[in-house]
Each structure stands twice: as C-alpha cells, then as structure tokens.
C-alpha cells in the first residue's frame, strides 16, 4: 500500500512486515524543517522543534542576525532562549543561513515573517506573500509550506491565489496555516506545553498536509484542531481580541475601584471564581501591549466594518485601552496635586511586559508619550529594554538604574512588572526624588519598604 507524500517519516501504514524498533521509529520521525524568519516567533519555534529532535535550518534576510545566531547569541531576550539555542546548535539540530531556498531533503517550510501594520492597515501580508511565492517556485511538489505568521481573515484567500497561479505551471507544494499561541516572556514553555495546535488548509485536498504539520507537534500531546484556513485565521484573531477584552474589562474595573475605594484584585478574584469566566487575563494594569493584541484589536473591527457587520463590543476594546492609558496619566496628575507640565517623572519599566525586551505598543511608552504631551520630563529605566525603548523613542531619557531615573522626580511610576522592582532601594530612591509619590500600575512593589522610606504609595485600583 503506497504511503501518502504527507505522512511523516515513521508514520507507517499497517502492513504484515516486521515493525522497526522504537529507536528506529524515533529516528525516522525526525524531519528536516526549513524555517523562514528569525524573529521572536521564528526563533522560539525553531528551538522548540529542534528540542523535539527535528533538524531546523533557520533562514533570514538579515545577515547580521544570522551571524549572531550562528555565534550562539540570541538577538532578542526571551527567558531560556539563548541557552537552548546554543544547546541545540551544539547538538547539530540547528543551522542558520541567508539562503531563501529550502535545503535538499527538507520536508516542510515554516514561514514566520512579520505581518506588521503598514499603509494598507494592520496585518499586512506583503512579507508572507513574498516568501510563500518564492517557496512555491523552488520547493518540490511533495513539500509542505506552513504559514505560522498571524494572518488577517482574508489572508488565506491571498495565499490561495498564489497557489492557483503557480499550479498553472504544474504541481506545486501545499500551503497550510499554523498560527502560534505563544506569549512573549513564556515562549519556550508555551511551545512545549501548548494550549492547542491548530492548522488550516487552503483547499480541501490539502487536509492531509495540514494534518501532517499538526503531527510535527505530536510528542507534545496537545489538543489538535485541523480546519479550513479562514476559520483558523479567525480563531487566532478572536483568541487575542478576547484576551484583550478581559484585560480592558479589568482595567475599567480598576478605575471604578479607585473612585469607590474597592480593591480590584478582590473584585476580579471574586468574578474569576465563576468557572464560566475564569481568572486568567482578568488582571488590571496600564493596558495591553506587544505586537499581537493591540494590532489585532484594530484589525478585527476593520474587518467587520468592511463586511458591514456591527460589532460594538469588539470595536470598543482598542478605544478602551487608549482611554485607560490616558486615565492613568490623569490619575497621576490628580495624585500629584500639581500640574504635570514642568514636572519630572521616573518611569520604571519600558518593555510591554516583564520577560522580554520588546517595546512594541508598550503601555509604558504610551504613558511616556502622554506625559511628554502634557509637558512632563520623563526618565525611564528598564533592566532589559532600555536600548530598544530608546530606538523606539529617541526623546525618552534613559537612566542606567532606578535611582538615577528617580533623581529630582516628583513621582515614580511602575509601568512593567519586572521582579527586580520588588527589591528597589526605596531609601535611596527617596533621597534622590524631589517629591514623594510612587504610583504602581502593576502591583509589584514592596509596600512596607516604600512606606518605611517615607514615600506615599498609590496602586492602580487597589487599596494600600
């Protein structure tokens, strides 16, 4: 009985022939993957697959980035990533290239390039289409191209057109989708213990190819969903927008708590005890950030508007986030009891969350912009994201440590939940400051240490 070209090596059709040994089956199940795009998603995915025993060739157009990776250094900060990168490279399971052509013998290409906001709007597929088109032109028909980049709902249709155009010249690789559900700061763990593996087919005849991509994750024993690519694209977008909705809801509750004297942690804990709601992502802070949630809370309303479908709840999520960050600055001004214009504020934390050096759509930088617009001088500190923050906003003054950031400040604002901020020397901070206000939007500081230093502590939505 012939084997389908999409079955992974080691997935044998039942026959009367003797079965290979366990060691042989494990060796056969390891395949050669070609991964395009050495960004946060691509690198975590590459390391994750290498740790499953696959050989991964990572390709990127940035020669400097490839050289950095080949030297065993990660160009991004993700907990455990650099150590795992070195280990898998030393084990011979990873190599790096600027060559955009899949190596001979590779069975799958995994596309992890960006879908940024550009002149056409959020989730531009220009880079994805360029890479997929190039792969269709050079990869053999039995090859499978899996797009892991986040796509708009119309993205699969654009990819389908590329396949149809290529098929005019003869058989070509199947193209399927495989969105990621990993969090920055916990990317390796999320790859190793995924909530689900989802793959999508562009054409019904490619269901088996989509299943073959899902089978790459088999050792992880995750729930698997194989569906049409349009549904898969909406699964990805809807998941992130729903998470953003929970955060926005908690942030609005925090402002109500500030006004009424309630405590948002107690409120959300009580609400989250209902298993229909759950506590996950029901946490108040300075707002959503990163490369996914903010962009997708804009992309989904734009889609519904093009379709002429009223979605007032989905439409409100992005607006809620912007208004919340404005409200945080307004609250800071009220707590200071003096005009923000001419004041100096220390901003501790510049990354959009702890565990990463990513400042894309960072709430901290949004707050800095609001403060600058009010005429406030801002000095920022971050243990990992200082350089990326300065590249993103050259007007932001960067301090080498928290005490330097606090020098002559009327207030200190905690904007990122770095664990280091729990052990800040508040006595030294008090000596450096002009004022006495500490405004913690993440609920991470040691309350007793702040009080012992003679500082006035306010925490977003919480009683002190």
Q: State the SS3 of the chain.
A: CCCCCCCCCCCCCCCCCCCCCHHHHHHHCCCEEEEECCCHHHHHHHHHHHHCCCEEEEECCCHHHHHHHHCCCCCCCCCCHHHHHHHHHHCCCEEEECCCCCCCCCCEEEECCCCCCECCECCCCHHHHHHHHHHHHHCCCCCEEEECCCCCCCHHHHHHHHHHHHHCCCCCCEEEECCCCCCCCCHHHHHHCCCCEEEEECCHHHHHHHHHHHHCCHHHCCCEEEEEHHHHHHHHHHHHHHHHHHHHHHHHHHHHHHHHCCCHHHHHHHHHCCCCCCCCCCCCCCCCCCCCHHHHHHHHHHHHHHHCCCCHHHHHHHHHHHHHHHHHHHHHHHHHCCCCCCCEEEEECCCCCCCCCCCCCCHHHHHHHHHHHCCCEEEEECCCCHHHHHHHCCCCEECCCHHHHHCCCCEEEECCCCHHHHHCCHHHHHHHCCCCEEEECCCCCCHHHHHHCCCEEEECCECC
Query: How many other β-carbons are positioned within 10 Å of the β-carbon of residue 192?
Result: 13
What are the residue boundaries of the structural domains of the chain, listed by start? 22-222, 293-459
Q: Which of 112, 172, 257, 292 is catalytic?
A: 292
User: What fold characterizes domain 293-459?
Assistant: Rossmann fold (3.40.50)
What is the predicted pLDDT for the residue at 29?
Answer: 67
The closest alpha carbon to 65, from 89, 88, 97, belongs to 97
Supply the pTM of this predicted model. 0.92
The closest alpha carbon to 197, from 175, 182, 184, belongs to 182
What is the predicted pLDDT for the residue at 19?
Answer: 44
What is the predicted pLDDT for the residue at 280?
Answer: 95
Strands 197-201 and 174-177, by their bridges, are: antiparallel
Query: Catalytic annotation on 292?
Result: yes
- pLDDT tens for the chain, 464 residues long, are 233 445 444 333 233 334 444 343 445 468 999 999 999 999 999 999 999 999 999 999 999 999 999 999 999 999 999 999 999 999 999 999 999 999 999 999 999 999 999 998 999 999 999 999 999 999 999 999 999 999 999 999 999 999 999 999 999 999 999 999 999 999 999 999 999 999 999 999 999 999 999 999 999 999 999 999 999 999 999 999 999 999 999 999 999 999 999 999 999 999 999 999 999 999 999 999 999 999 999 999 999 999 999 999 999 999 999 999 999 999 999 999 999 999 999 999 999 999 999 999 999 999 999 999 999 999 999 999 999 999 999 989 999 999 999 999 999 999 999 999 999 999 999 999 999 999 999 999 999 999 999 999 999 999 98
Instruction: Copy the structure tokens of residue 216.
Output: 């790459």
User: What fold characterizes domain 22-222?
Assistant: Rossmann fold (3.40.50)
The closest alpha carbon to 35, from 131, 128, 144, 112, belongs to 112
What is the predicted pLDDT for the residue at 14?
Answer: 32
Query: How many other β-carbons are positioned within 10 Å of the β-carbon of residue 157?
Result: 14
What is the predicted pLDDT for the residue at 73?
Answer: 97
Query: How many other β-carbons are positioned within 10 Å of the β-carbon of residue 239?
Result: 18
> CB-hemisphere CA count at 13 Å for 349?
32
CB 224 within 8 A of CB 214: yes
Is 293-459 the same fold as 22-222? Answer: yes
Query: How many other β-carbons are positioned within 10 Å of the β-carbon of residue 144?
Result: 22
Strands 437-440 and 144-147, by their bridges, are: unpaired
The closest alpha carbon to 321, from 246, 412, 416, 234, belongs to 246
**Nearest-angstrom CA–CA distance, 388 and 13:** 51
């Amino acid at each position: 009985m012939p084997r389908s070209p999409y079955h992974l090596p080691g997935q044998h059709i039942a026959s009367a022939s003797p079965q290979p040994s366990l060691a042989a089956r494990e060796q056969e199940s390891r395949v050669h993957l070609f991964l395009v795009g050495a960004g946060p998603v691509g690198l975590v995915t590459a390391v994750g697959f290498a740790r499953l025993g696959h050989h991964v060739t990572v390709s990127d157009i940035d020669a400097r980035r490839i050289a950095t990776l080949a030297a065993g250094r990660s160009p991004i900060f993700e907990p455990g990533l650099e150590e795992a990168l070195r280990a898998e490279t030393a084990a011979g399971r990873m190599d790096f290239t600027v060559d955009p052509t899949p190596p001979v013998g590779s069975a799958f290409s995994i596309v992890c390039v960006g879908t940024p906001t550009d002149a056409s709007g959020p989730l531009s597929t220009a880079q994805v289409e360029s890479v997929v088109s190039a792969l269709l032109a050079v990869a053999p028909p039995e090859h499978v191209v899996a797009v892991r980049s986040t796509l708009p709902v119309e993205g699969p249709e654009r990819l389908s057109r590329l396949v149809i155009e290529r098929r005019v010249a003869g058989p070509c690789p199947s193209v399927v989708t495989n969105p990621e559900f990993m969090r920055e700061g916990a990317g390796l763990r999320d790859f190793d213990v995924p909530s689900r593996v989802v793959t999508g087919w562009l054409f019904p005849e490619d269901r088996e190819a989509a299943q073959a991509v899902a089978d790459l994750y088999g050792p992880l024993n995750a729930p698997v969903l194989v569906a049409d690519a349009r549904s898969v694209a909406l699964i990805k977008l809807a998941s992130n927008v729903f998470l953003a909705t929970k955060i926005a809801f908690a942030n609005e509750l925090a402002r109500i708590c500030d006004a009424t004297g309630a405590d948002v942690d107690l409120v959300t804990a009580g609400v989250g005890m209902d298993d229909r709601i759950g506590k996950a992502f029901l946490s108040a802070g300075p707002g959503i950030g990163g490369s996914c949630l903010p962009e997708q809370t804009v992309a989904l309303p734009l889609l519904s508007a093009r379709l002429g479908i009223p979605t007032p709840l989905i439409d409100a999520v992005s607006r809620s986030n912007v208004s919340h960050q404005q409200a945080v600055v307004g609250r800071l001004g009220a707590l200071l009891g003096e005009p923000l214009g001419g004041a100096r504020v220390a901003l501790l934390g510049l990354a959009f969350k702890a565990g990463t050096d990513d400042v894309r759509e960072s709430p901290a930088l949004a707050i800095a912009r609001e403060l600058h617009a009010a005429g406030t001088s801002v000095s920022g500190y971050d243990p990992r994201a200082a350089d990326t923050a300065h590249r993103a906003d050259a007007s932001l003054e960067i301090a080498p440590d928290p005490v330097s950031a606090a020098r002559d400040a009327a207030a200190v604002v905690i904007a990122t939940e770095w664990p280091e901020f729990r052990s800040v020397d508040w006595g030294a901070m008090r000596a450096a400051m002009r004022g006495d206000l500490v405004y913690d939007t993440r609920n991470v500081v040691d309350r007793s240490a702040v009080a012992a230093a003679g500082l006035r502590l306010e925490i977003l939505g919480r009683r002190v």
